[in-house]
Amino acid sequence: MKKYFLFLTVLCFHFYTYAQQDAWVYFIDKPNVSASIANPTTILTQKAIDRKSRHNITIDARDVPVNESYIAQLKMQTGITVYAKSKWFNAVHVRGSETNIKALINLAFVNQIEFADKSINTSKPFKDKAISKLESVSTTYNYGNALNQIEMFNGDKLHALNYTGTGVTVAVLDAGFPKVNTMSAFAKLRNEGRLLNDYDFVNRDNDVYTNTTSNHGTLVLSDMAAYIENQFVGTAPNASYYLFITEDATSENPVEESYWVEAAERADSLGVDIINTSLGYKDYGPTYSSYTYSDSELDGKTAYITKGANIAFEKGIMLVVSAGNSGNDGVGAPADSQYVLSIGAVKASGDYATFSSVGSAIQPSQKPDVVAQGQASYVITENDVITTANGTSFSSPILAGGIACLMQALPNSTNAEIMELVKASASLYTTPNYQLGYGIPDLDKALSSALSSTDATDVIDNVKLYPNPSQEFVFIDLPNLKAEANIRFYDVLGKLVLNHTVNQELNKIDVLNLSLGLYIVKIESSKKSITLKFIKD
Return d(Cα 28, Cα 25) in angstroms, integer. Answer: 10
Q: List C-alpha distances in Å: 450 to 26, 225, 399, 444, 518.
A: 42, 26, 18, 10, 20
pLDDT of residue 227: 97
Active-site residue, selected from the candidate residues 117, 174, 273, 442: 174
**CA nearest to 359, candidates 436, 306, 276:** 436
pLDDT of residue 124: 41
Return d(Cα 154, Cα 445) in angstroms, integer. Answer: 8
**CA nearest to 62, candidates 41, 33, 26:** 33
Q: Angle at which helices 415-424 and 392-409 pack, to 10 degrees?
A: 110
**CA nearest to 22, candidates 91, 87, 98, 90:** 98
Return d(Cα 94, Cα 447) in angstroms, integer. Answer: 45
Return d(Cα 286, Cα 253) in angstroms, integer. Answer: 11
pLDDT of residue 190: 96
Angle at the Cα of 286 from the Cα atoms of 26 and 292, rounded to 5 degrees = 70
- Is 174 catalytic? The answer is yes
Active-site residue, selected from the candidate residues 117, 216, 240, 337: 216
Q: β-strands 318-322, 341-346: how paired?
A: parallel
- pLDDT tens-place string over residues 131-168: 334 443 345 799 999 999 999 999 999 999 989 999 99
Positions of the chain with pLDDT under 50: 1-17, 123-138, 454-459
**CA nearest to 388, candidates 263, 219, 260:** 219
The answer to whether 115 and 23 have CB atoms below 8 angstroms apart is yes
Strand partners, 502: 485
First to last CA, the chain: 60
Return d(Cα 290, Cα 310) in angstroms, integer. Answer: 20
Q: Angle at which helices 443-452 and 392-409 pack, to 10 degrees?
A: 30
Task: Report the phi/psi class of residue 489: left, alpha or beta, with left for phi > 0 and alpha for psi in -120 to 50.
Answer: beta
Active-site residue, selected from the candidate residues 393, 395, 396, 525: 393
The CATH number corresponding to 147-452 among 3.40.50.12660, 1.10.3720.10, 3.40.50.200, 3.90.1150.10 equals 3.40.50.200
Domain boundaries, the chain: 147-452, 464-536
- Give the DSSP H/E element, type plus range, for residue 33: helix 33-38
**CA nearest to 379, candidates 196, 169, 177:** 177
- pLDDT tens-place string over residues 234-289: 999 999 999 999 998 888 788 999 999 999 999 999 999 999 999 988 876 667 77
pLDDT of residue 481: 62
CA atoms within 13 A on the CB side of 9: 6
Backbone angles phi, psi at 489, to 5 degrees: -105, 125
**CA nearest to 372, candidates 317, 430, 422:** 422
- Give the DSSP H/E element, type plus range, for residue 498: strand 496-502
The 3-class secondary structure across 229-290, one letter per residue, is CCCEECCCCCCEEEEEECCCCCCCCCHHHHHHHHHHHHHHHCCCCEEEECECECCCCCCCCC
The 3-class secondary structure across 392-426, one letter per residue, is HHHHHHHHHHHHHHHHHHCCCCCHHHHHHHHHHCC
Angle at the Cα of 430 from the Cα atoms of 427 and 433, rounded to 5 degrees = 75
pLDDT of residue 62: 94
- Is 14 catalytic? The answer is no
- Strands, DSSP E only, in 299-417? 318-322, 341-346, 370-373, 377-380, 386-389
**Local structure of residue 221 (DSSP, 8 states):** H
Architecture of domain 464-536: Sandwich (2.60)
| pTM score, whole prediction | 0.76
Give the SS3 label for residue 473: strand
- Strands, DSSP E only, in 116-226? 169-174, 195-200
- Give the DSSP H/E element, type plus range, for residue 216: helix 216-225
